[in-house]
Amino acid sequence: MSGGLAALLDDIAVLARAAAASIDDVGVAAAKAGSKAAGVVIDDAAVTPQYVRGLAAERELPIVKRIAIGSLRNKFLIILPVILLLSQFVPWLLTPILMIGGAYLCYEGAEKVWAKVSGHDAHGGEEKLKDEKTLISGAVRTDLILSAEIMVISLNEVADQSFWSRLAILCIVAVVMTVAVYGAVGIIVKMDDVGLRLSEQSASGVAAFGRGLVKAMPIVLTALTVIGTAAMLWVGGHILLVGTDELGWHGLYSVVHHMEEAAHDATGPLGGFVGWLVNTIASAIIGLVVGAILVVIITFAFHRNKDTDAHGTEHAPTPAESTVPAADATDAAAKPSPAAEPVETAKPSPAAEPVNAAEPASPAEPSSEAKPKPATGTTE
């Protein structure tokens, strides 16, 4: 009996060690996968604060929280099931889907650049009228693309693992990345409030630091807006660059890769950073070009539809508008034309001026028709 119990405990110990080793492997793999997606995570953290800029201070954290919940829904309800199923059954479809998302990021970034360069909002002032629901939905849509990029990069790093290991690793990556991104966003958007509290402290050094934070945060948020726009172009362009290479169109990727290697070899100890910078700038340029083309196409289509609707409204008047010509015709009939306008009777012409009734009228000579004819023959 004791021997069986000892064997059972040995088996439990072996299973526990195996489970611990498996958990360690999952943790190591998750850390490795997450580190590969660190660049996109930084981009995500830079993009999100622009959605809460200009809102009331008490609404900033609730909106960041709702965006974070939407991000978790994106990852667990949409991205994770889709990429696991696609990687299991149709892995070749992942790249085209990701490229569509990259094109959307390029469009968003180029549209923001155009709005800045042209000096007016690309949506015609629509951004100023957005409510919280619209802001959150826009942020969650952008997060969907960036989260998909994070999850696909992580999936590529653990493609050799079993299905359940991939599932566990990607779940860990999803939670950790979401907490990291939106925790950082929450800290960024509340730093001005922290600075305001510190500026009210009695200690002069603490108060000066708080005032410095308050003055610096508008600059930081503006810089993050610029970084976020550049990140959209960079990530979107890089998705398209790598996607075209994976689909068999190697020309553009080869050019960028050769430029990156040349910069790496020419800069010695800084080669890694300079090579990465060259690749990043090239990806951003590609993103800007593709995004600009999409902005032109979508803007042209929008204005064309708008003009079509305007012409349709002009040629098909509403019932209220169709009654206007009839009323105008009635008014025209009631108003005589200038040619038929009667002569003003209040002011007689000088030729027809009547004789003053107060003066006695001179005897009027009868007309030739009224004079009596002289008698003939009988008077003689």
- Residue 337 is given by DSSP the state -
Mean pLDDT is lowest, of 120-129, 212-221, 308-317, for 120-129
Mean pLDDT to the nearest integer, 10-28? 51
Q: List the one residue out of 29, 69, 42, 253 whose CA is nearest residue 155.
A: 29
- Residue 162 is given by DSSP the state -
d(CA 133, CA 277): 37
* Structural domain boundaries, residue 289: 8-307
48 vs 93, more confident? 93
Query: Do the Cβ atoms of 178 and 34 come closer than 8 Å?
Result: no
- Core vs surface per residue 21-32: b (16+ CB within 10 A) or e: eeeeebeebbee
pLDDT at 274: 92
Name the token pair of 340.
């038929």
d(CA 287, CA 284): 5
User: What average pLDDT does the structure give for the chain?
Assistant: 75
112 falls within a domain: yes
Name the token pair of 137.
């939905």
Mean pLDDT is lowest, of 116-120, 182-186, 375-379, for 375-379
369 falls within a domain: no
Name the token pair of 297.
């196409």
31 falls within a domain: yes
| Count of residues making up the chain | 380
State the total domains in the chain. 1
Q: List the one residue out of 295, 305, 281, 36 whose CA is nearest residue 159.
A: 36
d(CA 60, CA 255): 44
**Per-residue confidence band for 330, with pLDDT thresholds at 50, 70 and 90:** very low
pLDDT digits (tens, 9 = 90+) for 269-289: 888 899 999 999 999 999 999
pLDDT digits (tens, 9 = 90+) for 248-270: 999 999 999 999 999 999 998 88
Mean pLDDT to the nearest integer, 194-203? 85
Query: Do the Cβ atoms of 26 and 169 come closer than 8 Å?
Result: yes
Query: Do the Cβ atoms of 51 and 135 come closer than 8 Å?
Result: yes
Mean pLDDT to the nearest integer, 289-296? 95
Mean pLDDT is lowest, of 166-175, 178-187, 251-260, 367-376, for 367-376
pLDDT at 193: 84
316 falls within a domain: no
pLDDT surpassing 90 at residue 45? no
350 falls within a domain: no
344 falls within a domain: no
377 falls within a domain: no
pLDDT digits (tens, 9 = 90+) for 337-346: 444 444 444 4
- 3-class SS shares of the chain: helix, strand, coil, % to 5: 80, 0, 20
172 falls within a domain: yes
Count helices and strands in the chain by DSSP H and E runs: 12, 0
pLDDT digits (tens, 9 = 90+) for 107-147: 988 998 998 888 765 444 444 445 788 888 888 988 888 88
Residue 250 CB neighbours (<10 A) = 12
